[in-house]
Chain A
Amino acid sequence: MDRKTVVIWAVAAALIIGVGVLMFTPAESGAQDVSAQRAAELVAEKVRVIDVRTSGEFEAGHIPGAENVPMNRLSQEAAGWDLAEPLLIYCATGARSADAVRILSGAGFETIYHLSAGIIAWQGDVSQGADTAGSPARELPDQVPGDTPVLYVFSTDW
């Protein structure tokens, strides 16, 4: 084998190895935790906002412009999204959205902003109502006067 052939083989081998490394090295995750203040800036910049809470939670109040994609639909719906489009993800407290960020990072989304403290930390307007603590008393359909008092607990998986 002459010297020229050796050089050609060496270059070819280097190219193959380089391409292989690029193909099999996981892309660095573009996920980053952001504060409520930074999230407000991102919303103002028209970054796509995804609320992964339930529809009931979403309807009660959400960040203006947010789309509701509950966790059980996230993988399916995100399959049709543009991987290069930045996303701002949030839930109530940051627990579910942390899972969402892992799913989206694994799917290859390049830029993910995570409101890690959840909508509880959100300082801006919400599109529908605010926390209604202290709201007027209401009577539930199945609450018959004279029965025992009732505690309603609204939760997700604890």
Chain B
Amino acid sequence: MKPVVDRLEQEYQGKVEFKIYNVETSEEGSALMRSYGAQYVPTFVFLNRNGSEAGRLVGEVAEEQLRSKLDSLK
């Protein structure tokens, strides 16, 4: 998944801020993951500009699914 995420991060630079956490090494990431009630890795949580959650995807998801969600963010 990493190459896909890296590619999308480049492509959406300036449009969507990517915050990527390794929850095994990042206390902050682990705490955020808990606050979202996410159980599995990887979990992708999409937030609109106003901070509202626009949705999430869990597991090995297709690039097109990620792209579709990213495009729908307001």
Report A's interface with B, CB cutoff 8 A: 53-57, 59-61, 70-72, 92-93, 119-120, 126, 129-140, 143-158
Contact = CB atoms under 8 A, between A and B. Distances in A.
A131 B39 contact: yes
Interface in B53-69: 53-56, 58-59
Given A54-B30, A60-B34, A149-B16, A156 B22 contact: yes
Contacts of B51: 137-140, 143-145
Contacts, number: 154
Identify whether the interface residues of B are mostly helix, strand, loop, or mixed.
mixed
Which residue, A53, A56, A61, A153, has most C-beta atoms of chain B within 10 A?
A153
B40 A155 contact: no
B23 A56 contact: yes
B52 A119 contact: no
A135 B37 CA distance: 9
Contact of A148 (B14, B23, B53, B59): B14
A131 B43 CA distance: 11
5 closest A-B pairs by beta carbon, nearest first, are: A56-B30, A132-B37, A149-B73, A139-B51, A158-B2
Interface residues of B, number: 48
Interface in B27-51: 29-51
Interface of B: 1-2, 5, 12, 14-24, 29-56, 58-59, 70, 73-74
Contacts of A152: 19, 21, 32, 36, 44-45, 47
Contacts of A120: 40, 59
Given A154-B29, A155-B22, 14 more contacts: A56-B23, A71-B24, A129-B39, A131-B37, A132-B36, A134-B55, A138-B51, A140-B47, A144-B51, A148-B16, A149-B47, A151-B16, A153-B42, A154-B44
A133 to B, nearest CB: 6
Contact of A138 (B1, B20, B33, B36): B36
Nearest to A60: B39
A22 B22 CA distance: 44
Contacts of A119: 39-40
A155 B58 contact: no
